[in-house]
Amino acid sequence: MTRIDAKFEDLRARGKKAFVSYVMAGDPDYDRSLEIVRGLPAAGVDIIELGLPFTDPMADGPTIQLAGQRALEAGMTLARTLEMVRAFRAEDDTTPIVLMGYYNPIYSMGVEKFLAEAKDAGIDGLIVVDLPPEEDIELCLPAQDAGLNFIRLATPTTDDKRLPRVVQNTSGFVYYVSITGITGSAEANATDVSPEVARIQKASGLPVIVGFGVNTPEKARAIAEVADGVVIGSAIVNRIANGDSAEDVLAFVKSLADGAHSA
């Protein structure tokens, strides 16, 4: 059982929904990023989704793209991202961390080396947005063998024919992208999301977390009411981009977590 599995088991036992927060590793720089990440659990975050900076983030909107650029300009790399996770784990050995990004940096490091380093650092799961199920042999299956959850994205265009293939080797949870398009481009609607969540839950037997288009405590609650939890990224990253202090960013995160947990 991974930390992710244990977290969902605990939330179910308490009748709670999960709040997942996304932040870009190294944004705006290593020290401030680590300060924010360390504060997320106390702000109510159940699972931390840690973005891996990449030069060509094709699935991300301007907010996340700019966060990645800031991190890269500040010297963030895959190795330093894992270093950050190790620093976090020195103080927190229970909060799950999912590394979200693209395959190129992992491929460049070498899959075997990356998986060993990620496991040692304390990564619990991976979301690699540009590796489809047809490429499971590349990273998904080796990651599962190494004891990491491999989390897949499902979207409004993932039809009943495609869905079984998408969830076949997925573990931990399924990330449902509530809108078509890039991050931060539209707003999620609970009425539209609800039947899709039920369909994915039935096909996968896994918790379904909904992301994209959620940016307020009220929306977090509305989405969490029809799903197993909600993930918010762009709204948090915007606060970092605006130069908010770590204290202010974490206060905002707590308001979002309180919204999701009130569902």
State the DSSP code for 134: G
Q: Which residue has the tokens 């948090």?
A: 236
Within 13 Å and on the Cβ side, how many CA atoms surround 139?
A: 29
**DSSP state, residue 99:** E
User: Six-digit token pair at 58?
Assistant: 């094709």
For every residue of 172-225, which 3-state class applies, written as one string?
Answer: CCEEEECCCCCCCCCCCCHHHHHHHHHHHHHHHCCCEEEECCCCCHHHHHHHHC
Q: Which residues are catalytic?
A: 49, 60
Report which DSSP code applies to 5: H
